[in-house]
Amino acid sequence: MDTIPKLLVHNARHLASKPAVREKEYGIWQTYTWAQSYENVKALALGLAVLGFQRGDKLAIIGDNRPQLYWAFVAAQSLGGVAVPIYQDAIAREVQYVIHHSEAKFVLAEDQEQVDKLLSLREELPYVERVIYDDPKGMRHYRDPWLMALAEVQELGREFERKNPSYFEEQVEQTRAEDIAVISYTSGTTGFPKGAMLSHRNLLSVGEALLQVDRYRPDDELMAYLPMAWIGDTFWSLSLSHKVGFAINIPEEPETVQRDLREIGPHFIVAPPRIWENLLASLQVRVEDADWVKRRIYHLCMRVAQAVEARRSQGKGVPVWLRLLYQLGDFLVYGPIRDHIGLRRIRFAYTGGAAIGPEVLSYFRSLGINLKQVYGCTECSALATVQRDGEVRPDTVGRPLPGVEVRISEEGEVLIKSPGVFQGYFKNPEATAEALEDGWLRTGDAGFFTPDGQLVIIDRLKDVTRLADGTTFAPQWIENKLKFSPYIKEAVALGPDRPYVAALVNIDAQTVGKWAEKNGVAYTSYMDLSQKPQVGQLIYREVERVNRDLPPETRIRRFLILHKELDPDDEEITRTRKVRRRLIAQKYASLIDALYSDAPQVEVTATITYEDGRRAEVRGIVPIFDVREPAEAAAGVQGGR
């Protein structure tokens, strides 16, 4: 059982009646067993074969998490083909690049929205022979022969099976561990995305290693809600689910994830730091909206929880009296919160993809949620290290998985050697040669090992630079501290070759909007809200709080609140919300220059695109804030613009 399709056949025989995938549709959970999933994959694979899909061909997949789209991964792989997932919110140009670069022969699109995107790109997709769509809603009058319903493809497959009953399993038996299973495109922070080729052996070997650290059972439940194009979802929702046989649960809509999560109560969950930060922000807002008595009880109990977690993280024992207080807090506060956010049955909660703020990690662990950091990348099949139970510390990402070697180069770069290291970048031998050196993967991350063997990630190696006076500067560390605030959604720390650290800040429109309503601050738009003096002072206090925990030489001296949100569609951040620093430095050069001058404000011009396509320019004045030193703040010295 060395490929994902072979595991599907095994599960269909030995776990036939157990749930493989659930999807919430029209408020009702629809369950598909392993036997039913097998039949759907088989029908789709055989239908693709009838249409001409052959070994080595690529099937691009775009849409929200849906059972049919997960089945498509395995259907393509069953014929010796390759799945190429694409972010569902990718704009047309990004979609065109991935499909054309991967030379995808077929595309499976979820619905009308994605089909329309593909139809607009038809002349730029010469390799695509057929677009298959799953949801026919709104497509009654589409007559293009380039399009075909997934149900029709499966019916073709069933007809083919009646004449060739053994064809599917014969094809599955021919699949090999070294076959490319997925081409996963990286986020492309420095240019065009690169297609990392991952074999079945790559993906399954990492799963085997993780199972030696954390035990999973076929009865477990996972919430599959993260983008299917993210390697983390490919690993957990596809590879590991087939390896173990647990069920994945798909929410009705992205907006209903929290509610659906409470109904399922998964045993483990995977979420990038941004999800945990948003969840914390929403909890903090709810606490502030509660009455005085509830707020008082909450804050008292959280002090107890944080004291217990601090002792646990340091390997110290917890006194009996503190354990008793914690149990009382669990009854009054922690348990109800876990139940409210749907994590009442959680055994393992993971975060990765970017650094998480130490305060965020400690907060959820103090609630009794076993949140652990993992580290890896697309090129090593998602995982290289994981924190072990009893060894969770906010500043590390754990120890290497069994069978994984990690070392630090002379330049301070993290290097990885493991069975999970990818086969190279598709059609990019130069980038492959740069990434692989004597079997070691060059991650591009800067890090070091603690004396007890845990890995610490500082930042991207290229982003760890110095201020003008030679002070080492890691912007991501400061940005994560800023994003711990419920009012700050995104931040970009500035400082390379500059005299001091400055920052561009994005407010969280939802949280700050609620704060504004509660405090009687009227506003009309994001730009208007972000530039309100009251909002400026709110963010100012958050920056002051961050500065108290920073070394004096890397404290934020000046900042401004951006008049617009950083947006993947504007290429300012990636689809996985990683900052494209080079582009931001160019796009906001005038604002950055103003931060390093004596100017109290800077004029900006924003382009607004209306729903009908019309565009308008809006001019405004963005104030710049000078941040006082913590000692001055304690003495009551006035700070501000």
User: What CATH number is attached to the domain comprising 564?
Assistant: 3.30.300.30
Last residue of a domain, one of 135, 170, 199: 199
Average pLDDT of the chain to the nearest whole number:
91
The rounded distance, in Å, linking the Cα atoms of 358 and 83 is 36
User: What CATH number is attached to the domain comprising 142?
Assistant: 3.40.50.12780
The rounded distance, in Å, linking the Cα atoms of 434 and 190 is 15
Q: Residue 336 pLDDT more than 80?
A: yes
Do 425 and 505 lie in one domain? The reply is: no
Query: Is 231 inside any structural domain?
Result: no
Query: Is 295 inside any structural domain?
Result: yes
The rounded distance, in Å, linking the Cα atoms of 103 and 195 is 11
pLDDT band for position 458 (cuts 50, 70, 90): confident
Stretch 177-202: mean pLDDT: 89
The rounded distance, in Å, linking the Cα atoms of 435 and 213 is 28
Do 525 and 576 lie in one domain? The reply is: yes
pLDDT in tens, 192-249: 789 999 999 999 999 999 999 999 999 999 999 999 999 999 999 999 999 999 999 9
Last residue of a domain, one of 172, 199, 226: 199
The rounded distance, in Å, linking the Cα atoms of 502 and 505 is 10
Tokens, residue 214: 């954390």
Taking CA atoms, 304 is separated from 80, 289, 327, 366, 510, in Å, by: 55, 22, 10, 9, 30
Q: Are 530 and 563 in contact (CB under 8 A)?
A: yes
Do 363 and 497 lie in one domain? The reply is: no
Q: What is the pLDDT of residue 354?
A: 75
Query: Is 259 inside any structural domain?
Result: no
Q: What is the pLDDT of residue 506?
A: 95
Q: What is the number of structural domains in the chain?
A: 3
pLDDT band for position 641 (cuts 50, 70, 90): low
3-class DSSP state of 425: strand
The rounded distance, in Å, linking the Cα atoms of 118 and 128 is 10
Pick from 132-146, 269-283, 591-605: least confident: 269-283
Query: Is 119 inside any structural domain?
Result: yes
Q: Residue with structure tokens 């530039």?
A: 531
Do 416 and 564 lie in one domain? The reply is: no
Do 394 and 457 lie in one domain? The reply is: yes
Helix segments in 241-354, DSSP class H: 241-244, 257-264, 273-289, 292-313, 320-329, 335-340
Stretch 438-456: mean pLDDT: 93
Query: Is 436 inside any structural domain?
Result: yes
Query: Is 237 inside any structural domain?
Result: no
In the chain, what percentage of residues exceed pLDDT 70? 96
Q: What is the pLDDT of residue 12?
A: 97
pLDDT band for position 611 (cuts 50, 70, 90): very low
Do 372 and 301 lie in one domain? The reply is: yes
Amino acid code (one letter) for 408: I
Last residue of a domain, one of 147, 177, 199: 199
Do 450 and 561 lie in one domain? The reply is: no
Question: What is the strand order of the sheet 488-494 is part of?
Answer: 488-494, 501-507, 556-561, 615-626, 601-609
Task: Quote the distance between the C-alpha of residue 347 and its chain's center.
Answer: 20
Query: Is 235 inside any structural domain?
Result: no
Q: Residue 588 pLDDT more than 60?
A: yes
First CA to last CA distance, the chain: 64
Stretch 140-146: mean pLDDT: 92
Do 104 and 153 lie in one domain? The reply is: yes
**Which residue, among 127, 82, 75, has the nearest Cα to 100 in the 3D structure?**
127
Stretch 134-162: mean pLDDT: 95
More confident residue, 493 or 315: 493
Task: Quote the distance between the C-alpha of residue 384 and its chain's center.
Answer: 17
Do 292 and 393 lie in one domain? The reply is: yes
Beta strands at 601-609 and 615-626: parallel, antiparallel or unpaired: antiparallel
| Residue 366, domain extent | 273-344+346-462
3-class DSSP state of 375: strand
**Which residue, among 14, 105, 3, has the nearest Cα to 54 in the 3D structure?**
105
pLDDT in tens, 357-411: 777 899 999 999 999 999 999 999 999 999 999 889 888 999 999 999 999 999 9
pLDDT in tens, 532-583: 999 999 999 999 999 998 889 999 999 999 999 888 877 788 877 778 888 8
Q: Which residues have a Cβ under 8 Å from the Cβ of 612 and sit 6 or more positions away?
A: none
Do 138 and 195 lie in one domain? The reply is: yes
Tokens, residue 79: 């014929």
Q: Residue 38 pLDDT more than 80?
A: yes
If residue 592 lies in a helix (H) or strand (E), which one and from where to where?
helix 589-595
Do 509 and 620 lie in one domain? The reply is: yes
Query: Is 407 inside any structural domain?
Result: yes
What one-character-per-residue DSSP string does 174-220 give?
T--TTSEEEEEE---SSSS--EEEEEHHHHHHHHHHHHTTS---TT-
Beta strands at 58-62 and 82-86: parallel, antiparallel or unpaired: parallel
Q: What is the pLDDT of residue 214?
A: 96
Do 425 and 493 lie in one domain? The reply is: no
The rounded distance, in Å, linking the Cα atoms of 466 and 472 is 4
Stretch 510-527: mean pLDDT: 90
Look at the alpha carbons of 26, 31, 35, 38 in this order and tell me if their dihedral is positive or negative.
positive
pLDDT in tens, 612-634: 556 667 788 999 999 988 766 65
pLDDT band for position 272 (cuts 50, 70, 90): confident
Length of the chain equals 641
- Give the CA angle between residues 391, 396, 398 to the nearest 5°: 55
**Which residue, among 533, 535, 500, has the nearest Cα to 518 in the 3D structure?**
535
